[in-house]
Amino acid sequence: MLHQAKKDNMRMAPNSNFNFGINWDNQEFKPGKYTLKLTAWGSGKKWTFTKDFEIKKDEADKLNDKAVELEKDYTMWYIIGGIALLVVLLILVFLLGRKSRKKNEDRE
């Protein structure tokens, strides 16, 4: 998966640092190994930086919980809810059918 960000006309004081955010396009962080490749130009110079890093499962879960615009996937909950509803309906139909059958037997 490739994510990239480009910013023009940014300024920075010498010997300083800042956090540079990269848009993740409302996708969740997945645990795994990643590589950051950064290139910066300024005052006729070019700087390149490459860093390998890993996002562990617990870190990814924490970051995903904090993501404000992350679209949550509730598909599994819908499936579980649908199955539970189906089971309840089947039990209800079974009990009503049994009750109806008993009434018919009592009449005869």
Helix residue ranges, H only, the chain:
57-66, 75-107
pLDDT in tens, 26-55: 778 889 999 989 888 888 899 899 999 999
Name residue, tokens 């870190």: 59
Query: Which pLDDT score, from 0 to 100, does residue 68 have?
Result: 62
Instruction: Verify that 40 and 88 share a domain, yes or no.
Output: no
Query: Which pLDDT score, from 0 to 100, does residue 71 have?
Result: 63
Query: Which pLDDT score, from 0 to 100, does residue 48 have?
Result: 93
Instruction: Verify that 87 and 105 share a domain, yes or no.
Output: yes
Q: Is 70 exposed, middle or buried, given 0-12, 13-18 or 19+ CB atoms closer than 10 A? A: middle
Instruction: Verify that 85 and 50 share a domain, yes or no.
Output: no
Instruction: Verify that 8 and 50 share a domain, yes or no.
Output: yes
Instruction: Verify that 90 and 63 share a domain, yes or no.
Output: no
pTM of the complete model: 0.52
Q: Which residue range forms the structural domain that includes residue 52?
A: 1-71
Instruction: Verify that 82 and 99 share a domain, yes or no.
Output: yes
Instruction: Verify that 62 and 85 share a domain, yes or no.
Output: no
Distance CA 63, CA 29 (A): 7
Instruction: Verify that 67 and 79 share a domain, yes or no.
Output: no
Distance CA 79, CA 19 (A): 40
pLDDT in tens, 61-91: 888 887 766 666 778 888 999 999 999 999 9
